[in-house]
């Protein structure tokens, strides 16, 4: 396995992707001393800068840029070779400058392609005068691709040392992560990539500008099944991608065939239909055809799929209630739906059917489950159910109201009256007329969890004015007028005064209730006492 890919031959290309530096120092040159001449560190008087560039390996004096141009860790260009570099002070230690990058090096032609995935590091020797970094690399994994086969190799310990062994299972993307922790480091730069265009792999991404992620995995799958190319060029790019990225969710492609129709198990018209979206809905379509509905012809399947693809769930829900066939449900929907579309109709239908069950209608009767005018009938069932629910809530309301009649009061002086809503509907109406959200409190009010009260002027007792919420420990939680008093209608003084007086009134109610409770308890105690006395006597 030695000499799998000659990495050393590609170091020059690899070096282009590594960071480069210009090391600089300022001073006055004193010729004739040392190899490059000695610089005397009189920084503020210097006119030239002594430079070394790691890209072109040149040592030179820059008399174009002023010495002030050079700043430590600033990005710029080498004046000699114009390479983009980072400026670094020459006198600083370089041993901490360490950089690594991942590469996939390609080598091969014709029916064979080798890929060596390497991690390259660039570092400086500890030696202070060494200005040129050293590149070092180690191989992470290797691939050998040939028509019908893609083999990935990994390094395995086997006495007396490490050996490259074929990996079991499918070849997958390289992982450059060192050790077992951290996120997968999977990005890499392609080196000598032209080799692909001289090999059997050349057609897959021909004329494609941006190569996809998981590029090596694409190549491996393509080496295994050259038909992958037919999917790409037959309008089903997304299917190819879902195959490579293992996102086909259990759908197996038939690689034994060379016919695209047989590979994806679709009819010609189905391929044409799905190719409109590059095959994005292939998976969805296959599942639909298998689990929901397959017509007598592919055209029929497509017709229903295109109209009901997003309504599968509602079809199933209607089906559970009615036991109708999928086709019957879809046909009825297409016949009766309005402009809102099939999904809207199906949701309405499902809700209507649930209403029918609640109302104990005959669910065997076709005229019940498939009515001529579903929308009108749905309105009717909702209306009936609403009435039933309201009646139930009003029963609760009356039970709650017996205990809180004492909250009602009239203030003749302010001309205001506060009373309990008579029905649940009254609360909804109040919310609608005053444009605030009291309607949502109706349920809790009926159950006695809180109390909603209407504040009216004595002059217009029928007209919604202010609405109050009283908590069960008898405190005013809120008192709101039209649009929560946010429509340039601040609370009038009479209301504020009423709130003050009512708070006092509530304290009285509280005291009265406490006394009543005590009285009740006393009565009970006396009764039990009397009972025990009677028992004792009887004994
Ligand atoms: Zn240079």
pTM of the model: 0.69
Q: How far is the CA of 26 from the centre of ligand 1 (A)?
A: 18
What are residue 112's DSSP bridge partners? 109
pLDDT tens digits, 448-505: 999 999 999 999 988 999 999 999 999 999 998 888 888 888 899 999 999 999 999 9
Q: How far is the CA of 86 from the centre of ligand 1 (A)?
A: 11
pLDDT band at 441 (very low <50, low <70, confident <90, very high): confident
Mean pLDDT is lowest, of 100-109, 138-147, 272-281, 388-397, for 388-397
- Model pLDDT, residue 318: 95
Q: How far is the CA of 75 from the centre of ligand 1 (A)?
A: 13
Q: How far is the CA of 94 from the centre of ligand 1 (A)?
A: 18
* pLDDT surpasses 70 at 128: no
pLDDT tens digits, 68-97: 899 999 999 999 999 999 999 887 778 788
pLDDT tens digits, 24-73: 887 655 555 444 555 555 555 566 788 899 999 998 888 788 888 999 99
pLDDT tens digits, 257-285: 999 999 999 999 999 999 999 999 999 99
Q: How far is the CA of 40 from the centre of ligand 1 (A)?
A: 24
Distance CA 413, CA 498 (A): 10
Q: How far is the CA of 85 from the centre of ligand 1 (A)?
A: 8
Q: How far is the CA of 61 from the centre of ligand 1 (A)?
A: 12
Q: How far is the CA of 125 from the centre of ligand 1 (A)?
A: 20
* pLDDT surpasses 80 at 124: yes
Q: How far is the CA of 56 from the centre of ligand 1 (A)?
A: 4
C-beta of residue 56 within 8 angstroms of C-beta of residue 86: no
pLDDT band at 299 (very low <50, low <70, confident <90, very high): very high
Average pLDDT of span 216-226: 96
Q: How far is the CA of 22 from the centre of ligand 1 (A)?
A: 7
Average pLDDT of span 195-199: 94
Q: How far is the CA of 279 from the centre of ligand 1 (A)?
A: 50
Q: How far is the CA of 82 from the centre of ligand 1 (A)?
A: 6
CB atoms within 10 A of CB 175: 13
Q: How far is the CA of 71 from the centre of ligand 1 (A)?
A: 17
Q: How far is the CA of 28 from the centre of ligand 1 (A)?
A: 22
Q: How far is the CA of 53 from the centre of ligand 1 (A)?
A: 5
pLDDT tens digits, 314-346: 999 999 999 999 999 999 999 988 888 899 999
* pLDDT surpasses 80 at 431: yes
Structure tokens at 396: 């609760």
Q: How far is the CA of 20 from the centre of ligand 1 (A)?
A: 9
- Model pLDDT, residue 341: 86
* pLDDT surpasses 70 at 162: yes
DSSP 396-461: HHHHHHHTTGGG-EEETTTTEEEE--SSHHHHHHHHHHHTSGGGGGHHHHHTTSSEEEEEEESS-T
Q: How far is the CA of 132 from the centre of ligand 1 (A)?
A: 12
Outline where DSSP puts E strands in 54-133. Answer: 59-62, 75-77, 84-89, 98-109, 112-123
Q: How far is the CA of 102 from the centre of ligand 1 (A)?
A: 24
Q: How far is the CA of 129 from the centre of ligand 1 (A)?
A: 18
CB atoms within 10 A of CB 63: 11
Buried b (16+ CB within 10 A) or exposed e, 426-449: bbbebbeebebebbebbeebbebe
Query: CA 494, 498, 500: angle at the middle one, nearest 5?
Result: 120
Distance CA 150, CA 200 (A): 13
Find all residues with CB under 8 Å of 372, minimum gap 6, and list them: 336
Q: How far is the CA of 79 from the centre of ligand 1 (A)?
A: 7
Distance CA 223, CA 151 (A): 10
Residue among 324, 328, 279, 323 nearest 304 (CA): 328
Find all residues with CB under 8 Å of 524, minimum gap 6, and list them: none
Buried b (16+ CB within 10 A) or exposed e, 309-343: eebbebbebbeebbebebeebbebbeebbeeeebb
pLDDT band at 199 (very low <50, low <70, confident <90, very high): very high
Q: How far is the CA of 77 from the centre of ligand 1 (A)?
A: 8
Q: How far is the CA of 124 from the centre of ligand 1 (A)?
A: 17
* pLDDT surpasses 60 at 123: yes
Report CA Rg, the chain: 42
Mean pLDDT is lowest, of 10-19, 154-163, 280-289, 291-300, for 154-163
Task: Express as a percent the part of the chain with pLDDT over 90.
Answer: 63
Find all residues with CB under 8 Å of 321, minimum gap 6, and list them: 350, 353, 354, 357, 363, 369
Q: How far is the CA of 55 from the centre of ligand 1 (A)?
A: 5
Distance CA 109, CA 195 (A): 6
């Amino acid at each position: 396995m030695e000499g799998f890919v000659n990495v050393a031959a590609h170091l020059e290309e690899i070096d282009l992707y590594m960071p480069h530096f210009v090391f600089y120092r300022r001073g006055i040159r004193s010729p004739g001393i040392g190899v490059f001449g000695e610089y005397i560190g009189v920084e503020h008087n210097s006119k030239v800068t002594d430079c070394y560039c790691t890209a072109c390996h040149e040592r030179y004096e820059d008399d174009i840029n002023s010495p002030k141009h050079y700043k430590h860790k600033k990005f710029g260009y080498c004046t000699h070779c114009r390479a983009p570099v980072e400026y670094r002070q020459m006198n600083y230690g370089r041993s901490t400058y360490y950089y690594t990058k991942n590469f996939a090096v390609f080598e091969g032609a014709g029916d064979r392609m080798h890929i060596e995935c390497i991690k390259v590091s660039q570092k400086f020797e500890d030696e202070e005068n060494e200005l040129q970094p050293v590149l070092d690399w180690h191989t992470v994994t290797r691939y050998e691709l040939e028509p019908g086969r893609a083999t990935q190799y990994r390094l395995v310990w086997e006495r007396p040392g490490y050996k490259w062994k074929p990996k079991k299972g499918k070849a997958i993307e390289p992982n450059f992560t060192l050790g077992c922790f951290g996120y997968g480091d999977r990005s890499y730069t392609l080196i000598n990539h032209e080799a692909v265009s001289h090999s059997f792999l050349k057609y897959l991404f021909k004329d494609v500008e941006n190569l996809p992620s998981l590029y090596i995995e694409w190549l491996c799958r393509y080496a295994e099944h050259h038909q992958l190319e037919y999917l790409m060029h037959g309008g089903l790019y997304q299917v190819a991608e879902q195959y490579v990225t293992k996102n086909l969710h259990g759908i197996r492609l038939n690689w034994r065939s060379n016919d695209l129709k047989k590979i994806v198990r679709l009819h010609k018209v189905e391929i044409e239909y799905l190719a409109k979206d590059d095959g994005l809905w292939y998976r969805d379509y296959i599942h639909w055809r298998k689990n929901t509905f397959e017509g007598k012809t592919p055209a029929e399947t497509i017709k229903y799929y295109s109209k009901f693809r997003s309504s599968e769930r509602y079809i199933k829900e209607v089906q559970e209630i009615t036991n109708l066939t999928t086709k019957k449900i879809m046909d009825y929907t297409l016949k009766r739906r309005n402009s809102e579309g099939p999904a809207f109709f199906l949701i309405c239908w499902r809700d209507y059917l649930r209403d029918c069950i609640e109302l104990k209608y005959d669910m065997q009767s076709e005229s019940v489950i498939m009515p001529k005018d579903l929308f009108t009938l749905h309105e009717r069932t909702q209306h009936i159910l609403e009435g039933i629910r309201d009646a139930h809530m009003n029963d609760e309301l009356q039970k709650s109201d017996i205990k809180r009649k004492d909250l009602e009061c009239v203030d003749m002086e302010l001309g205001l009256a506060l009373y309990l809503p008579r029905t649940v509907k009254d609360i909804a109406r109040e919310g609608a007329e005053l444009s605030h959200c009291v309607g949502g409190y109706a349920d809790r009010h009926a159950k006695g969890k809180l109390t909603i009260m209407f504040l009216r002027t004595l002059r217009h007792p029928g007209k919604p004015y202010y609405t109050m919420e009283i908590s069960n420990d008898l405190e005013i939680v809120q008192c709101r007028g039209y649009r929560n008093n946010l429509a340039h209608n601040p609370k009038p003084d009479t209301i504020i005064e009423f709130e003050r007086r009512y708070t006092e009134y509530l304290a009285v109610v509280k005291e009265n209730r406490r006394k009543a409770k005590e009285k009740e308890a006393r009565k009970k105690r006396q009764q039990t006492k009397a009972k025990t006395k009677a028992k004792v006597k009887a004994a």
